[in-house]
Amino acid sequence: MRRPHGRTATTRIALISAGTAAVLGLGGLTAGSAAATGTPAPDRTTGPAAAAPATSPATAPTAAGQQVLSTFTVAYPAAPYRTHNIARAVELINGAVVEQGDIWSFNQAVGERTKENGFVDGIMINDGRYVKSPGGGVSAVATTMYNAMFFAGLKPVEHGAHSFYIERYPEGREATVAWGTLDLRWQNDSGHPVTVRASSTPDSVTVTLLGTKQYDDVRATKGPRTHITPPVKRTVTGPTCEPQTPLEGFDVSVDRVFVRGGHEVGRETFRTHYTPRDEIVCAPESPTATPGGSPSDSPGTPSAAPGTPAAPSAPGTSTTPGATTAPTPSGTAAAPTPRA
């Protein structure tokens, strides 16, 4: 008998790889963080090795007798770029078969969000604000897959929340991705193959996972918002600027409860930290001081917001990276990576 999720009562960084942390040059608290703690999930008689490698899932018809483990839908405002990019990501993940012990990877399945791979420019989060970038909108697919994995009772391997909260997603149960730095990965530790079914409409995306049920039910319970942090107003110049409405930052905890035979047989807690979503006002670039000179502000560079308080994490909570800049060992700011 074994504990398939390897869960302990000690807070641990459960949802992001050490390699990702190294790429981002993490040195402290960053936005959009998530951590997991909890009591062990119930034992199973079969399961994968803890360090099973990520694989390229096969694509095949649903195996006879498979059950619906979970299904989840995310709705979003229709926009041509969003509808296109989500449909393309859905096309790339639909029909995947994840064998027992294998790790499913969003970045591996979908590939780099480039024009050559069928994606168009859209809106992403970069350095705590919306900007135009290829592949914008695919985080809706990542969030839908994350919730399908969550309610199927499968093992999370890596995920990161958006730096600030986006109202159409469930608080503390959402995911974003960034090519080369942040992935969404989960392991099939169910003891049986899992098939991915994905579809989209102009304003929604649905992911269904099929396999063999290990639990009668998997539930989510959300706690209150804590460590509320107000946003500030920022003025931004440059062609990539997108106006942004303000929203407070906060911490939130979500419990995943495993039920079998009418009884709770396991529970784990996921803690997420959101930074404030600052108000962004787009302004024209400053005129050059002399002929041939440079503008006073570089395009797309936000004006400083001195004195902005950082949202503290819950006591004893480990954190993982989000979409904000992390300091490098030399003290200079690392270039932020757009989050879809």
Q: What is the pLDDT of residue 242?
A: 87
Q: What is the pLDDT of residue 214?
A: 95
294/181 Cα distance (integer angstroms): 32
212/65 Cα distance (integer angstroms): 8
Q: Which residues contact 65 (CB under 8 A, 6 or more apart)?
A: none
Whether this model's pTM surpasses 0.85:
no
287/316 Cα distance (integer angstroms): 49
Per-residue pLDDT of the chain (340 residues; tens, 9 = 90+): 333 343 322 222 333 333 333 332 322 223 355 666 555 455 543 333 334 444 444 544 555 689 999 999 999 999 999 999 999 999 999 999 999 999 999 999 999 999 999 999 887 777 777 777 778 899 999 999 999 999 999 999 999 999 999 999 999 999 999 999 999 999 999 999 999 999 999 999 999 999 999 999 999 999 999 999 999 999 999 887 889 999 999 999 999 999 999 999 999 999 999 999 999 999 988 765 444 433 333 333 333 333 333 343 333 333 333 333 333 333 333 445 666 6
Instruction: State the sign of the Cα–Cα–Cα–Cα dihedral 19, 20, 22, 27.
Output: negative
Q: What is the pLDDT of residue 277?
A: 96
CB neighbours of residue 103 within 10 Å: 22
CB neighbours of residue 289 within 10 Å: 9
Joined together, the tokens standing for residue 219 give 């539930």
Strand partners, 244: 280
C-beta separation of 324 from 163 below 8 A? yes
Alpha carbon 337 to chain centroid distance? 13
Q: Which residues contact 168 (CB under 8 A, 6 or more apart)?
A: 74, 75, 76, 77
Strand partners, 268: 38, 256
**What are the tens digits of pLDDT across the range 89-137?**
999 999 999 999 999 999 999 999 999 999 998 877 777 777 777 788 9
Instruction: State the sign of the Cα–Cα–Cα–Cα dihedral 175, 177, 183, 184.
Output: positive
Q: What is the pLDDT of residue 96?
A: 97
Of the candidates 30, 52, 338, 332, the one whose C-alpha atom is nearest the C-alpha of residue 182 is: 338
3-state SS, the chain, equals CECCCCCCCCCECCCCCHHHHHHHCCCCCCCCEEEEEEECCCCECCCCCCCCCECCCEECCCCCCCEEEEEEEEECCCCHHHHHHHHHHHHHHCCEEECCCCEEEHHHHHCCCCCCCCCCEEEEEECCEEEEEECCCCHHHHHHHHHHHHHHCCEEEECECCCCCCCCCCCCCCCECECCCECCEEECCCCCCEEEEEEEECCEEEEEEEECCCCCEEEEEECCCEEEECCCEEEEECCCCCCECCECEEEEEEEEEEEECCEEEEEEEEEEEECCECEEEEECCCCCCCCCCCCCCCCCCECCCCCCCCCCCCCCCCCCCCCCCCECCCCCECCCCCEC
